[in-house]
Amino acid sequence: MKRRHLAGGALSLLLFAHAGAAQTRAGAATLTATLDDGTEIARLAMPEGGEWCVLWRHSVQGFEVADCYENQAGRMVLMRSHQPDFAAGLGHIPGRGTQASDGDGGYWITGIDEPVPENAYVLRAGSMAVDHRLSVGDATVSLSERAARARIRIALEPSP
């Protein structure tokens, strides 16, 4: 699948409209990325069972890392992580999921199934060299492009 990189308010509108029908179902939620001053830089409809990943390039080695989450009955749950190397700061913690080869020199950690406290966490977006991104289906929004070096609260919130 080819990924589309979209910028500005059009991304939020497009993704919100694309999944808008799912919002009325039980467990529907909204994934938001918000700056400390309250400025919302992304708003994505996230139906029950919906998945998204936070992607970035490792600041030392330059390869892509992924942490993937799921909306489980309105709870943000870390499901799996892809790490192409045991570089600085990366690795598998025994007892936290299962490590398996990705067949390309890296590895997946699956079965993490770890609820995120309070359905939110703060990420300091890296520069464009790191390029922190939210990826949902075929669409990707660059958090670094919108707010490099800023604190961003990523949250799964109940839909109205």
Q: How far apart are CA 115 and CA 67, in angstroms?
A: 13
Closest C-alpha among 91, 62, 67, 92 to residue 77:
67
CA angle 86, 68, 9 (to 5 degrees): 120
CB 50 within 8 Å of CB 19: yes
What span, in angstroms and rounded, lies between the C-alpha atoms of 48 and 31? 12
Specify the length of the chain in residues.
160
Give me the pLDDT at residue 102, please.
82
Q: How far is CA 145 from CA 64, 100, 121, 126, 150, in A?
A: 17, 32, 19, 9, 11
> What separation, in Å, do the N-terminal and C-terminal C-alpha atoms of the chain show?
32
Which pLDDT score, from 0 to 100, does residue 58 have?
Answer: 79
CA distances from 4 to 14, 63, 113, 138, 152 (A): 12, 20, 28, 6, 22
For β-strands 4-5 and 139-142, DSSP reports them as parallel
Spatial neighbors of 108 by CB under 8 A, at least 6 apart, are: 80, 81, 82, 99, 100, 101, 102
Q: CA angle, corner 81, sides to 84 and 102, nearest 5?
A: 45
Tell me the residue range of the domain where 87 lies: 4-158
Backbone Cα Rg of the chain: 15
The total of structural domains in the chain comes to 1
Predicted pLDDT of residue 152: 98
Supply the pTM of this predicted model. 0.78
pLDDT means over runs of 10, the chain (160 residues): 34 36 62 97 95 89 87 96 67 69 83 95 96 94 97 94
